[in-house]
Structures are given as structure tokens and as C-alpha cells.
A and B are shown apart, each in its own frame.
Chain A
């Protein structure tokens, strides 16, 4: 025990003091709008620059300023990037939540807090570091107006000392954050140093959470899923973008517009894209259909409430067979729900969205790389199948910071599907039908308005047409058409992004998961093996309709746990419908739905307890 032990307001004897080296989670609790994001990003970047695998998650309220917000950074030498259930180091700066935050900690955790909060009295089994933020900020920031912003940098310095960050890396991260604003950088650096010096002087002992340089982040990038998806859209060659703001989807379009403005102008400054902020999601979807019908690559991005509004248009797109790319960045429903919390609640809705018989292609990115790659693929699939394609992301994937390998430049040209040019029509002597199944795959040929051939035009409308696109209400014409649409959809099973066998286990247990649950499942597999000696196989879904390989996977396992981040197990139910009762009987459902990203511990516990019941 350190001789300066008196400074540790409670030197609890029962506390586990085993060092957590490059393996802990640090949470900063502040007030929304207090400008703590810069400080948190400096911390995150510093760890990343020290070569330590990280993830950063922002838990924020539906509010602009004044309500509690938490930013959690996880350092993991194993490369685990899911949310960690326990917080190991808390920076408590929000008076409103401080008490609750501290009481929720596991024994042994550390708490850095603003002196007036006097948190050390709350529990004896924690390590406390108290800093007089106001006193420290005054000398480094003489201008009272700026103090509120600079104040947060003090904890960066203090944490840097306590957990052993390399100060040159902290400085580099700060410079990057304030790239072109030297005065701001200097001011903030002063605050960081003040925090660092105070902590070093008063708490010379290193904390239980410690960092040491690794080599695990070389060549990696840090990105949010929405930025990744935006890049996918740009490289897919999107030309028309129509959107209506909604959290957590807005930043996808905002990133995309920024990229397009920068990289998609001709030498004389003209735009090779049209970006429209529509009056609502109905309109955004209508614009996408109008543009796609004309042969443009068009997209929109929204969240559940917007998807609801688009449903009529999506049905029209399905029946009139118009490509469209629709990103649904899912959040907890409904509109007046928890709009800033994550969920996978739109799965069943998107799969069958609209009235009448409709079935869609739904892509399920599980990583930021896939937000990019499936974003790219969505346009090819939409045009190939001439139908709306959903890309289902979620708030966790879309708005949080993830490490990734640099994205690969698309090697293949685009797939624009079956399009007949004027020359093609010439060869066919004008004999074609917009809704005729020539190749037996349910996908008919389309012409693009502007085609000069006299027979090129057709009248786009819903289902009331015959093979030639002429108006018809004949029963046979209708059934032929909807049966062909079903055939087309069935044909997509083996063409959409195929499921990935992430882990071939031993034994009779399988796990099926999708989307942002992926990192938690990977970590849970390790926990299950280490703690219970169970080694499930893990298949990660990447698209609906389901590939044949999924039934094969289920057949190979006696019990398959389907992981959903929604209350009802929506993917479980879609699988059940698809696989039929006999095979479906092997499916079990694990559901996580509290608005927080799923964590490995919860999955491990849930799977373990269900195994107990079945065995």
C-alpha cells in the first residue's frame, strides 16, 4: 500500500486490485451540450494511437443541451469492441446522475469526480480521485466565457496520468481534434496539463486500469457506420439523394453530402449529384422512385418512423419494379419513444413492408466495413432485381466509433441489371414486354425514359398490368405477375450477400445473429468456451431472403439460438416462417431490448440459462 494512501479517500481492502492492463471500460458522464465530445475523442484517439484496440459509444439523450449523456471507451487487448457491461473507470461530472452512476459500479471500480460532488462518501469499495475542476481551469483559461468548453479537458489530463497514457500521443490526438485552430489547441493543452499535473501530484499511484503500447491498430481506421455507408453510396455512383432529417440516420446523408461536394464535382464545379432535403419521408421516397425509374442511382436514408411513412411508396416500387436503395438506421420505436437508443426493431417490418403481397431484399451489415460494402452492393442488387432494397443499420453501428480495416476499392464495375437500349429494341424489332419473364428468373427487361426507339416507352404503375405493361385487371394477368415477383425474390436468395460462418464450433449448439450484435457474439463465444466449455458454431446473417446455407446450418445443429435486439425475436420469427415447423423447432430466441447495445455478458448468461432448461 502506498504511503500516500490517505489521498485515496477510501482505500478499501476488499477491493480487487489486480491490474486491468489494456482491458477496461472508461465511462465519462457529463451533461449534453457541455462540449465533452472533443475530450472523449482525444481519449479515444490516444488509445488508438497507442496501438490498443478500442471502441467508443455515445449514449445520449433526445435533447440538445442539459440532459445526462455518457460516452464509453473500451480498451481491449483481445480486440473486443462490443459494449462491456461493467464500467471499470468512471469520470463523474454530472451532478444529476453521479450518485446513481457510482452506485451502479462493480466493486473495485475507480471514480474520478469533480470535488464539490463529494462522491467518496457513497461507497467504500471503490477507488476515488477528486479534482477541483473550477479551481484548475481558472488559471489556464483566463477568459471566463471559454471555461465551460476547456474545463472538460482537465479530465483528459488526469485520466492520462492515472491510466498511463503516453502524453505525446495525447498531444497528437488533441492537435488532430483542433486541426486548424491553434489557439483552441493551445488553450486545451493547458487544461490537459493542469489535470495531469494535479493528478500526478495528488495521486502518484497508478490506477488499477492501465495502458501499455500495443501494435494492434496499425493500418486501421476509426469510423462511424453512417460515414462508412455514405462512402459506399458515393462509390456506388449514387446520383440522386433525397432525405428527411431523423436521428440516427441524418448523419449518413450529411456525411454523404459532404463527400459528394468534395469529390463529385466536375472540373468546372458542376455537381454530378442532386441532394434534396425533402419535405418528409413520403416525398423522399417518391423522389427516389422517380429518379430510379429514370435510370439514376437513387437512395434515401431514414429510421423507423420514416420507414412507416414510406410504406405505400415502397409497395409501389415493388410492384412497378423500380430500383431504390433505402437505409433504415434503426432506433427504438415509436416516434415518441427512445429516439436516441439502439434496437433492431424494424426487421420484420422492412422484410414485408407495404400492403398486398410484398417481400423485399434486406441487407444486414454487421460491421462498419459492411456498412460500406453492403451500401455498395445495395445499388447493384436494386438494379439487378429492379426492386427497393433496404439496408438495415442501427444506431449503435451508425453513430458510434468503430475500428476497421481500410475499405477496399470496388474492383467490379456496377451491375445495372437488364436494360434494353434503343439498339437492343431495334434488334428485337420492338417486340418486348416490360413485365415479360424472358429468362425464367422472374426479372424482366426495362427501358429507360429517353430511349429513342419508338416502342421503348411503357406506362409505369402498380400491379394492374399485363406482361406488356398495358392496363389489365384480368385475374390471370394479376396472378402471373405476382407469381413472377415471388420467383424473382426467391431467386435473390443465393445472390444476396451470403451468410458468414464466423465460427465452426464443436457440439450441437448453433448461434445465428446479424447486424450490430456481431461483436458481442464473438466475445460471448470466448466466454462460453472459457467459462462453461461450450463451443457453439456461429452463423452471421447478411441478407433476407435467406440463403439455402442457413437451413443447412440449422440442420447441422440440435439447438440454434437466434439473437435479436428486439422484444419479439423478429429474425427468429422470419426464420421460423422460412424454415418451416420441423426445422424451425430447433430455433430458440435470445432477445436483448433495453435500448443499450447488446453486450457479451448478457448473451452468455442468456444462452447458458436456456441451455440449463433444455438439458
Chain B
């Protein structure tokens, strides 16, 4: 055994005083190189950097390779692996029960765009405070490679089967359904994905991020429009995204002519520097238009398409007490005897 002379460097701690190790989870069981693993790593980074408190963080998922991943990040937090396509409802109940929680849900394109489409759309309508991530690979990974509803027309399966059905665009659907933060990124784009995730954690409503996440086992070949190669060749970023959390100095210069600055409800700032498009992220119609155009041209357009920081979230709409419902004591949830007497008298 070699003798060690220097002690290991003290790990870097975040603003809660926690090391990044506290944001890791158990070891992944997904295929090596699966895009989903990279997304888990970015979630670890984002939660660490944002100083997310694991005690007040929840991870939820549906069913699929993607939905297994909550076990692989923020191991100190509670997690719930629910049923196929129905995570939104479980998350809704969970957040209603305890409004102090930061919830993050992971879904797949099969989980969201087919079996879970109904719940997905209603989640967007309600604006529950939840970061909803679709790990989008165009196929059903866990059931071995069938096309999903986000697969592009003409996309070819390894076996040669060609997809004839038009894809559903989850970003457009989310915007149409009333979502208040809609973005698309790529599992291979570390910087953009991390920045969007950090902004997502600061958002006071539903965040829908469609992350193109190649399935190396079933959908990474020639002819697939969700392969690493295809996405690298066709990715076009709508903006250069940067994020300044509320607890950091925001006095970084930016040019209002080229950059949209979005102040988020906690005082954080999301900055979107325009690239090719002259784009206003508060304009849903414009977002739908560029998404449609990108679809026609075969581009993989990434960035933040739409953000509305004003709409109240679901808990605010329901006008709930500040304390989590789950922790209300008996005397706050069982009306006094006089109430029962009053009701009984009205029925006598």
C-alpha cells in the first residue's frame, strides 16, 4: 500500500454547508452512456449549487428507464416511484399535502406523451409548483425500443421499422395547456441544461423541461432523430441562457437590447441572450411559432420558450393555510363539538 502524505482537500460546501456528495443517490443501473444518467448528474449539480434542502425536496416518477432515475440523485430525500404515466397526480397530492416541499418529477416520453398525456396536460393547467422533466429518447427504453409518440416521422428503428406517425411536441402542448415555464434542452449540453435546471428550481409554478436524452441501446443509430449524432448536428439554441440566483450578486452587466432579463418570484434572475431569433419569452404565440418552424426544418431547437412568473401556483389558487396540511394538528382539522351540534340541529 502506498503511504498517503497529504490529507484529501476538504470538499466544497454549498450555502447550506452540504457537500456535493449529499446530493448523489445510489449507483445507476441504466445502460452506460444513457442520456438519462447525464440528466441525473445535472440534477445533482443543480440541487447542490442552488443549496436545495434535501429535507424539503421530493422526487417522483412514473415508470420507465427514466423513471428509475430518482433513486440516483439526492439520496437523502424522499422519493416515490409511482405508476406508468400517472406521476403528475401523485405529485399534485404530495405538494398539496405539504406546500413547503420542492418537488421534482421525472418522466419519459412514453410515460408522458402516451399513457400519461391526460395527467400531463392537467398538471400544466394547474400550475402546481413542480419541476417536470421529460427524458425524451423517442422510444420506450424499458420495454425494449418501441417508438414513442415523440418519435419523428421517418425515424427508423434498428430493425428497420419506420415511424409513420407525426410526433407530439411536448413543449407546444405544455404552452397550449397553460404551463408557466417551458424549455427544451439536451442531455449532452451540460451548461445549458444545468442553467435551466437551476432556474427551474427557482420557479413558482410548473416547469416543463423536455430534455432530449438519447437511448444508446435502442435509438442511437443512423436514421434516428434522437441519436447523439443527430442532435449534435441539428441542435440550435434559441438563446444563451444564464441564471443568477437571488443570493448572489446580480450586478453583472447585460445589454437590454440583446438580452431578456426575467426576474423570478424569489428574486433570482434568468437571462436569455438572443441568438439567431429575436425572441420574447413571455409571448406564447411566438413560442408556438418558432417551435413549429423548427419542427418543419428538422432542427432541435433548445432554450426557454415561455415563462410567466406572475400566475399564482396551484396552492396559492386554493388559498391554503401557510402550514403544511399534512402537519395540521387535530384541533385545526376536527371542528369543535358545537359544529356537529349546529349541523345536527339543521337536520332535525
Interface residue ranges, A against B (CB under 8 Å): 219-223, 231, 234-240, 242, 259, 263-264, 266, 269-276, 278-280, 282-298, 312-313, 316, 320, 406-407, 409-410, 413-414, 448-452, 454, 456-462, 470-471
Contact between chains at A240 and B71 (CB < 8 Å): no
A282: contacting residue among B54, B95, B119, CB under 8 A = B119
User: What are the residues of chain B within 8 A of A269 when measuring CB–CB?
Assistant: 319
Q: Which of A274, A290, A292, A410 is the most central at the interface, judged by chain B CB atoms within 10 Å of its CB?
A: A290
Q: With the chains together, A450 CA to B325 CA distance in Å?
A: 12
Min CB distance B124 to A, Å, is 11
Q: With A290-B94, A406-B344 as given contacts, are A272 and B101 in contact (CB-CB < 8 Å)?
A: no
Q: With A263-B335, A290-B80, A459-B81 as given contacts, are A272 and B93 in contact (CB-CB < 8 Å)?
A: no
User: What are the residues of chain B within 8 A of A279 when measuring CB–CB?
Assistant: 118-119, 122
Q: With the chains together, A287 CA to B126 CA distance in Å?
A: 13
User: What are the residues of chain B within 8 A of A287 when measuring CB–CB?
Assistant: 89-90, 92-93, 96
Q: With the chains together, A410 CA to B335 CA distance in Å?
A: 11
Contact between chains at A460 and B92 (CB < 8 Å): no
User: What are the residues of chain B within 8 A of A456 when measuring CB–CB?
Assistant: 78
Interface residue ranges, B against A (CB under 8 Å): 26, 54-56, 58, 60, 70-71, 75-83, 86-98, 100-101, 118-119, 122, 315, 318-322, 324-328, 330, 332-335, 337, 339-340, 343-344, 347-348
Contact between chains at A450 and B98 (CB < 8 Å): yes
Contact between chains at A274 and B96 (CB < 8 Å): yes
User: What are the residues of chain B within 8 A of A222 when measuring CB–CB?
Assistant: 347
Smallest CB gap from A282: residue in B: B86
Q: With the chains together, A71 CA to B292 CA distance in Å?
A: 58
User: What are the residues of chain B within 8 A of A270 when measuring CB–CB?
Assistant: 319-322
Smallest CB gap from B87: residue in A: A286
Contact between chains at A295 and B326 (CB < 8 Å): yes
Contact between chains at A271 and B55 (CB < 8 Å): no
A294: contacting residue among B70, B326, B330, B339, CB under 8 A = B326
Min CB distance A46 to B, Å, is 15
Inter-chain pairs besides A283-B92, A448-B326, 6 sampled, C-beta below 8 Å: A223-B347, A235-B335, A282-B89, A286-B83, A410-B334, A461-B80
User: What are the residues of chain B within 8 A of A407 when measuring CB–CB?
Assistant: 340, 344
Contact between chains at A271 and B335 (CB < 8 Å): no
Contact between chains at B82 and A316 (CB < 8 Å): yes
User: What are the residues of chain A within 8 A of B90 when measuring CB–CB?
Assistant: 286-287, 289-290, 293
- Closest 7 interchain pairs by CB? A290-B93, A286-B89, A237-B333, A287-B93, A291-B93, A296-B97, A294-B97
User: What are the residues of chain A within 8 A of B78 when measuring CB–CB?
Assistant: 449, 456-460
Smallest CB gap from A297: residue in B: B333
Q: With A221-B347, A239-B325, A291-B94 as given contacts, are A231 and B340 in contact (CB-CB < 8 Å)?
A: yes
B98: contacting residue among A235, A449, A452, CB under 8 A = A449
Q: Which of A240, A274, A407, A458 is the most central at the interface, judged by chain B CB atoms within 10 Å of its CB?
A: A274
Selected A-B contacts with CB under 8 Å, 23 pairs? A236-B334, A239-B326, A239-B328, A242-B89, A264-B333, A272-B320, A276-B318, A282-B119, A283-B88, A286-B119, A287-B93, A290-B89, A290-B96, A291-B93, A292-B93, A293-B93, A294-B94, A294-B324, A295-B326, A409-B340, A457-B75, A459-B80, A471-B26
Contact between chains at A296 and B347 (CB < 8 Å): no
Contact between chains at A295 and B327 (CB < 8 Å): yes
User: What are the residues of chain B within 8 A of A470 when measuring CB–CB?
Assistant: 26
User: What are the residues of chain B within 8 A of A298 when measuring CB–CB?
Assistant: 93, 97
Contact between chains at B71 and A459 (CB < 8 Å): yes
Q: With A235-B335, A264-B335, A316-B83 as given contacts, are A291 and B326 in contact (CB-CB < 8 Å)?
A: yes
Min CB distance B237 to A, Å, is 34
Min CB distance B22 to A, Å, is 9
Q: With A295-B327, A460-B81 as given contacts, are A283 and B89 in contact (CB-CB < 8 Å)?
A: yes
User: What are the residues of chain A within 8 A of B89 when measuring CB–CB?
Assistant: 242, 278, 282-287, 290
Smallest CB gap from B337: residue in A: A409
Contact between chains at A414 and B330 (CB < 8 Å): yes
Q: With the chains together, A244 CA to B93 CA distance in Å?
A: 15
User: What are the residues of chain A within 8 A of B88 when measuring CB–CB?
Assistant: 283, 286
Q: With A297-B333, A407-B340 as given contacts, are A242 and B324 in contact (CB-CB < 8 Å)?
A: no
Contact between chains at B82 and A239 (CB < 8 Å): no
Q: With the chains together, A470 CA to B27 CA distance in Å?
A: 12
Min CB distance B175 to A, Å, is 19
Q: Which of A237, A239, A297 is the most central at the interface, judged by chain B CB atoms within 10 Å of its CB?
A: A239
